[in-house]
Structure 1
Amino acid sequence: MNVTIDKHAFAILSDSESGRCEFAALDVGVSEEIDCGSDVALSGPLQLLKGVYARICREFLHGEQRALKVQTFSDAPPGSGLGSSSTMVVALVQAFAEFFALPLGEYEVAHLAYDIERNDLKLAGGKQDQYAAAFGGFNFMEFYEGNRVIVNPLRVKDWVWSELEASLVLYFTGVSRASADIIDQQSRNVTEGKQSSIEAMHSLKQEAVQMKECVLKGDLRRLAQTLQAGWEAKKNMASSISNPLIDDVEKLAFANGAHAAKVSGAGGGGFMMFMCSPEKRIGLTRALASQGGRLLDFHFTQQGATSWRIA
């Protein structure tokens, strides 16, 4: 169960005037140039950019390494739990598809982004973020064997959209974390047969179904209960998902009107999401602001990955 917000990842492609392959993450001030034809090392702070470039050249350009300038920036900090890494890979794939007129729809863009991130770059994680970024809007996603994915767009009533938007608060703890490390711990717990982790995963799956029903029916009270139950189950998947900082912020939030809490993404830090009655939102945001983190203003958006050309 997923919804996109109006924070974006941007990728800009152009021919390189230097005749070399140029990569730059503009928001963090990191850049690198390599000679075209040389091996592209899929590591370091620019691995997402280089990974997409290498895969596109190999799969769609018959191995030719075109001299390109690849630049990116994002509205969300890395390690925030908002799916920023996967969203950036989707943005890059979408930009390359536009640049080279590749016949890729939303499903193909999302799957290719997933394959690059998980298999080419060996970064642990799921695949919901890639599909969320590619499609946009409220979606109920089903994942099956053999990489079969079904994305079901939800027709959410306007008043539910507005009430839910007014009921949610996003708070950045100021702590970024490597989601792959936490996901690796969760995976180990499952493969080693840790019963509490396996039961937590089954609970989360069922709660996604319940959330879909709550959103479609406009039952926001039950949605808050389901969201909180999901967070409690998630904490049982790995010990690193929560910590004293997160616990303290959660207690403060509940003392100031929150009905439900959740750490976005893998856990361990990044953004926390709280659900409250709209009239409690101001008091909740003031209390959270006193903790030294940062509140993020946002709105839901229907728009998924999009691309355009500049003449």
Structure 2
Amino acid sequence: MIITRTPFRVSFAGGGSDLASFYKRHEGCVLSTTINKYMYVVIHPTFNRSETVVKYSKTETVNDIRQIQHPIARQLLLDHKLDGVEIVSTADIPAGTGLSTSSAYTVGLIHALYAFRGKFCAQERIAKEACELEIEKLGEPIGKQDQYGTAVGGLKFIRFLPDDTVEVESLIIDPAVRKQLDDNLLLFYTGMTHSAGTILREQNTNISGAEDKFRNLVKMTELAYEMRDALTNGNLDAFGYILNENWLLKRQLASQISNDTIERYYHIAMESGALGGKLLGAGGGGFLLFYCPKEKQSRLRCALSDLVELAFSMENSGTKVIYVGEKDWD
């Protein structure tokens, strides 16, 4: 048996610039961090070796892996030429909430399959293979930030280059600044989930056809660099203000990124002490992230008392194997 644990990610600035429709014309970049909420993937031999079992929100049992309905699991088992196994996944948060559940599953399963076969695979290679699977083989209209954001741990600056390569730079900041940043970040669940594919398809079209949307994303990449510099210089108020400016630009990229409910909660938070915030993921629902100084957090929590707060902290590890059982089959 192999168990992998893959952290979810929180993206602060530059989201959307990881789409090929943008970075082929202008370098993209994202500032993000992994957090202590995880996707767990378990793989072990089935008792009846003629069967392959995949368990997620439902259970599939097949005699031919080509019959598996879950597209990620089916494609990866075909790629690895592996059957007669049971794959089980569970997560700390629900899908469709903007914390990269789908890519974390892909990353965690790739890692588990390599480990199950007794092979080592570096985190950045896992991220690259996850991008190839989701974008090229499965044709998802997504970018590359989630795969690298979950596979590689810690607070990092990720660059998406026109030649399709990706560079990941760990961000080194003063430990006291990091702790204060951690203390001042708050997550609230809106109660709404979203279809990332629908929103990203529109965003891709808009970036390719509307110059104002393209310029918005160029400005968002500039803000990502400014945010990186603010953190390395220990200027957390600037971090909060940039977070807000990034959101004001992002919500204009596609029609379904925001809605009246999200705008109402965002306005309440800003009136209650937050310096900035954003909706995580593609948009339309999921988690709202806010940067709020500690002395104003009680007021903000009271103002958003009808939302569920998710306690979290930043962490440094990426995808990892957390359990290896004895190999008892050939």
Q: Same fold (TM over 0.5)?
A: yes
SS in 2 for 1:201: helix
SS in 2 for 1:137: coil
Structure 2: distance between partners of 1:153 and 1:198: 27
1:256 counterpart residue number:
272
2:308 counterpart residue number:
294
Structure 2: distance between partners of 1:81 and 1:35: 34
Structure 2: distance between partners of 1:276 and 1:142: 27
- The structure where strand makes up a greater share of residues is 2
2:91 counterpart residue number:
74
2:22 counterpart residue number:
none
1:125 counterpart residue number:
142
2:73 to 30, 46, 49: 49
SS in 2 for 1:9: strand
Structure 2: distance between partners of 1:77 and 1:216: 33
1:309 counterpart residue number:
324
Following TM superposition, by how much is the alpha carbon of 1:108 offset from its aligned partner in structure 2, in angstroms? 0.9
SS in 2 for 1:258: coil
SS in 1 for 2:284: coil
> Any runs of at least 4 consecutive aligned residues in structure 1 with deviations exceeding 4 A, and if so which?
none
Structure 2: distance between partners of 1:275 and 1:234: 17
Following TM superposition, by how much is the alpha carbon of 1:121 offset from its aligned partner in structure 2, in angstroms? 2.1
What TM-score do you get using the length of structure 1 for normalisation?
Answer: 0.91
1:33 matched to 2:50? The reply is no
1:231 matched to 2:255? The reply is no
Write the mapping of 1:101-140 to structure 2, written as runs, cut at 5 A: 101-140=118-157
Structure 2: distance between partners of 1:130 and 1:97: 17
Residue 37 of structure 2 contacts residue 92 of structure 2 at CA under 8 Å; is this kept in 1?
A: yes
Unaligned stretches of 5+ residues in structure 1: 58-64
Give the counterpart letter for 2:48 in structure 1: S
Give the counterpart letter for 1:33 in structure 2: T
1:24 to 55, 69, 76: 55
Give the fraction of aligned pairs with identical amino acids, expressed as a percent. Answer: 26
Structure 1: distance between partners of 2:117 and 2:163: 28
1:266 matched to 2:282? The reply is yes
Query: How far does the alpha carbon of each residue in 1:253-290 deviate from its partner, in whole angstroms, 9 at most, with x for none?
Result: 11211111200011111111011111111221222122
The number of residue pairs the alignment matches comes to 294
Structure 2: distance between partners of 1:7 and 1:218: 26
Give the counterpart letter for 1:222 in structure 2: A
Root-mean-square deviation (CA, aligned residues, Å) is: 1.4
- The structure where helix makes up a greater share of residues is 1
SS in 2 for 1:175: coil
SS in 1 for 2:320: coil
Give the counterpart letter for 1:255 in structure 2: E
Following TM superposition, by how much is the alpha carbon of 1:13 offset from its aligned partner in structure 2, in angstroms? 0.5
Query: How far does the alpha carbon of each residue in 1:36-58 deviate from its partner, in whole angstroms, 9 at most, with x for none?
Result: 3x5245x4xx333223222322x
1:214 matched to 2:217? The reply is no
Residue 196 of structure 1 contacts residue 236 of structure 1 at CA under 8 Å; is this kept in 2?
A: no
2:16 counterpart residue number:
none
1:183 matched to 2:207? The reply is no
